[in-house]
A and B are shown apart, each in its own frame.
Chain A
Amino acid sequence: MYDSPKSDSTVKHAIKIAANKVQVFYGDTHAIKDVDVQIEDKTVTAFIGPSGCGKSTFLRTLNRMNDTIDICRVEGEILLDGENIYDKRVDPVQLRAKVGMVFQKPNPFPKSIYDNIAYGPRIHGLAKTKADLDEIVEKSLRRGAIWNEVKDRLHSPGTGLSGGQQQRLCIARAVATEPEVLLMDEPCSALDPIATGQVEELIDELRESYSVVIVTHSMQQAARVSQKTAFFHLGNLVEFGETSQIFTNPKDPRTESYITGRIG
């Protein structure tokens, strides 16, 4: 019943991100314990698990967003294309241009739609001329599947859009900086079912160019959009594998309890 028709597990993709023995501490709390996971390129990987299990925390370690939290400490290594992103020489700003992020609540800048998209390319110097920038904005909005809805009002504020449109705008903003990995932290939790459908469709399209990692509370969503699924519980990575296998034939009893609704 959780069969994923879009799964193409037979095709082998390169490993984009490899996490080895990752530990995360918040002060004295051990939030993530010994996580090993390998995230493939051009694949949607879903992180599922009950609230507080550490899946969002782990997601934020992948582009060092947790650096902004003073008491947060990460051990172990996370390799992006073979380079440890926690190496001292890595500038998190450069990393975040490569690993984009979409947040739980749509958070467009209180600027125009155009400026929302153009901001990233501008600070990274991706556009030489105004025409280049216009092109990037159009391309990103098309990739965010929102171009047709906003092309006539690019200079009206992004905060005036509906929730679903705002979230697609945020996705378009994230792809505008040409990232290689896209992290999504419960991108649909603030959206209605129709907007959720649109965003999920979009995620499936994005898979062709990016490696997408999505944290979700909805197991149906994980089953619909992902090819790989990781189940987190109490800071441990309990099980990681093909989505179809996790939902139909889980190996660990905890995974089974969770997907059948007994825990979580």
Chain B
Amino acid sequence: MTDATVQPGAEGRPAKSGSLLEQDARTKRRNAAEARFKFYGMAAVGIGVIFLILLLVSIVRNGVPAFTQTFVTVPIYLPEDKLDKSGVRDPDVMRKVTTFGYAPLLDDALVKTLEENGIEMPFAKPAKLRDMVSSSAAAQVRDTVLANPDLIGQTVDFKLLASSRVDGYMKGRVTRESLARDKNLDAEHLDIVDQLHDLGALERSFNWAFIFGSDASESRPEQAGLGVSMVGSLFMMIVVLVLSLPIGVAASIYLEEFAPKNRWTDLIEVNISNLAAVPSIVFGILGLAVFIQFAHLPMSAPLVGGLVLTLMTLPTIIISTRASLKAVPPSIRDAALGVGASKMQSVFHHVLPLAMPGILTGTILGLAQALGETAPLLLIGMVGFIASNMPDGVAAGFLSPNSAMPAQIYEWAKRADPAYYERAWGGIIILLVFLMTMNIIAILLRRRFERRW
């Protein structure tokens, strides 16, 4: 009874505990520490997001112009007496007329275009006008004529690539001031460009050749494209996938499920983890020594690139595969062994299917890493190679010299012409699109397999 008479008040409690409605000093300090930590966390995330936005904005701003190109539409008369003297349209005879034979036609056509549109001709020599169009223009006309000899004798509208300086002027990269120090183009050219642009004969349009075309020599940035090196990357990725997935998965399954746990397997484990941290250029020099100098595989070939990147991707795949095998609950293995399955049956029927999403994700991320790798390709000669022709056939795709996307981008970034700088950024956009696609595929596969049960 005496207990009940004690009032629940200040004297009822030990002096130490105050009212619950007020925070004591210790609680206040703890809450403040928590608030501070939350702020640090948010600040860290915020800084990360800002960097990401800066990166994306600068890539898009610098790279998007690479996807458009300036073209000049010029009606060109194709005279029979110059292009096919015999008049029988024999392709072998017509091929004897080189691009030098086509260049005067271009000059005539440009002069005529100026005359017809009432634009004053500022130069003494007509050939000077040709600086406005790409040096590939004559070849373009020639290819068209050889492909379609019936055009001879007619006047045909050609959409010619403008030279990189004209293109730069249209994109704001080249100004009249900067031309003062540039002997490739004069301010008078720009007057003509302005007037042609007003007439609609010169305009910027989307440039598919940048995505699907081939690389060009240093002096023709307007012609360069990423297509051939994209094919090089594709063949490399095929090699990487075909080699690293089975080897990596087999090694992981053996190490994780079958190998006895002893000093040797520990040593192997440590070494695999360390391999994942080896700088990629080391794999490059290993590839140079083993695959090219010792095994005499061809230089600059996607096969060699793929082999080197396989070495680099294997540790990634092994580590992620082992992690996903470990994540399969042991009760599933017990269940399989309990009904009399052998070790291998329990692994292949039950453990592996459950680990599959993790394995696939790891593999795709490994491939994405390999796709973006440049350093090892430097050493086996895939950088600096001018990938100007598509490989003819699958065997050539693996064995003939080629470049790869990141190597091509690096190569462009090295070149002096600012037009190539722009193309390097554009190439990075394409590379990022590929990487993002692969990541999205990884996420989708993961979701799809996990939803099944």
Contacts and interface: CB of A to CB of B under 8 A. Distances in A.
Interface of A: 63, 65, 68, 70, 93-94, 96-97, 100-103, 105, 107-111, 119-120, 123-124, 157, 159, 170, 173-174, 176-177
Contact of B335 (A94, A157, A170, A176): A170
Contacts of B339: 96-97, 100, 119-120, 123, 173-174, 176-177
A120 B331 contact: no
Nearest to A108: B335
Interface in B319-361: 329, 331-342, 345, 349-350, 354
Contact of B349 (A93, A97, A119, A124): A119
B341 A107 contact: no
A93 B453 contact: no
Contacts of B333: 68
A109 B332 contact: yes
A107 B334 contact: yes
Contact of B354 (A94, A110, A119): A110
Contact of B338 (A94, A100, A123): A100
Interface string B257-301: 000110000000000000000000000000000000000000000
Task: Give the 6 A-B residue pairs with the shortest CB-CB distance, closest first.
Answer: A97-B340, A107-B331, A120-B339, A101-B338, A110-B453, A96-B340
A103 B350 contact: no
B350 A109 contact: yes
A177 B329 CA distance: 23
Contact of A107 (B335, B342, B349): B335
Interface string B43-68: 00000000000000000000000000
Contacts of A157: 453
B260 A96 contact: no
B340 A159 contact: no
Contact of B340 (A102, A105, A108, A120): A120
Contacts of A93: 340-342
Contacts of B349: 119, 123
9 contacts: A65-B338, A68-B337, A93-B342, A97-B339, A109-B335, A110-B453, A119-B349, A157-B453, A170-B335
A108 B332 CA distance: 8
Contacts of B331: 103, 105, 107
A110 B355 CA distance: 12
Contacts of A65: 334, 337-338
B353 to A, nearest CB: 8
Contacts of A97: 339-340
A102 B333 CA distance: 13
A102 B332 CA distance: 12
B178 to A, nearest CB: 66
A101 B333 CA distance: 13
A97 to B, nearest CB: 4
Given A68-B333, A177-B340, 18 more contacts: A63-B338, A65-B337, A70-B260, A93-B340, A94-B340, A100-B340, A105-B331, A107-B331, A107-B334, A109-B350, A119-B336, A119-B349, A120-B340, A120-B341, A123-B345, A170-B335, A173-B335, A176-B339
Contacts of A63: 338
Nearest to A119: B339
Given A65-B334, A109-B350, A170-B335, A159 B341 contact: no
A104 to B, nearest CB: 9
B282 to A, nearest CB: 35
A79 B405 CA distance: 67
B399 to A, nearest CB: 45
A246 B340 CA distance: 34
B238 to A, nearest CB: 32
Contacts of B342: 93
B254 to A, nearest CB: 15
**Of B261, B340, B345, which is in contact with the most chain A CB atoms at under 10 Å from its CB?**
B340
A178 to B, nearest CB: 10
**Taking each of A94, A103, A105, A107, which has the highest tally of chain B beta carbons within 10 Å of its own beta carbon?**
A107
A132 B224 CA distance: 67
A102 B338 CA distance: 8
B338 A174 contact: yes
B337 A107 contact: no
A174 B335 CA distance: 9
Contacts of B335: 103, 107-109, 170, 173
Given A103-B331, A105-B331, A109-B350, A96 B345 contact: no
B340 A123 contact: yes
Interface string B138-163: 00000000000000000000000000
A102 to B, nearest CB: 8
Contacts of A176: 339
Contacts of A123: 339-341, 345, 349
A170 B340 CA distance: 14
Contacts of B334: 65, 101, 103, 107
B30 to A, nearest CB: 39
Contacts of A68: 333, 337
A124 B336 CA distance: 12
Contacts of B260: 70
Contact of A96 (B337, B354, B453): B337
B357 to A, nearest CB: 12
Nearest to B328: A110
B73 to A, nearest CB: 64
Contacts of B341: 93, 119-120, 123
B261 A96 contact: no
B346 to A, nearest CB: 10
Nearest to A71: B261
A78 B399 CA distance: 63
A191 to B, nearest CB: 15
A135 to B, nearest CB: 18
A176 B341 CA distance: 13
A157 B450 CA distance: 13
Q: Which of A100, A105, A123 has the most CB of B within 10 A?
A: A123
Contacts of B338: 63, 65, 96, 100-103, 174
A152 B354 CA distance: 26
Contacts of A102: 338
B262 to A, nearest CB: 9
A173 B354 CA distance: 20
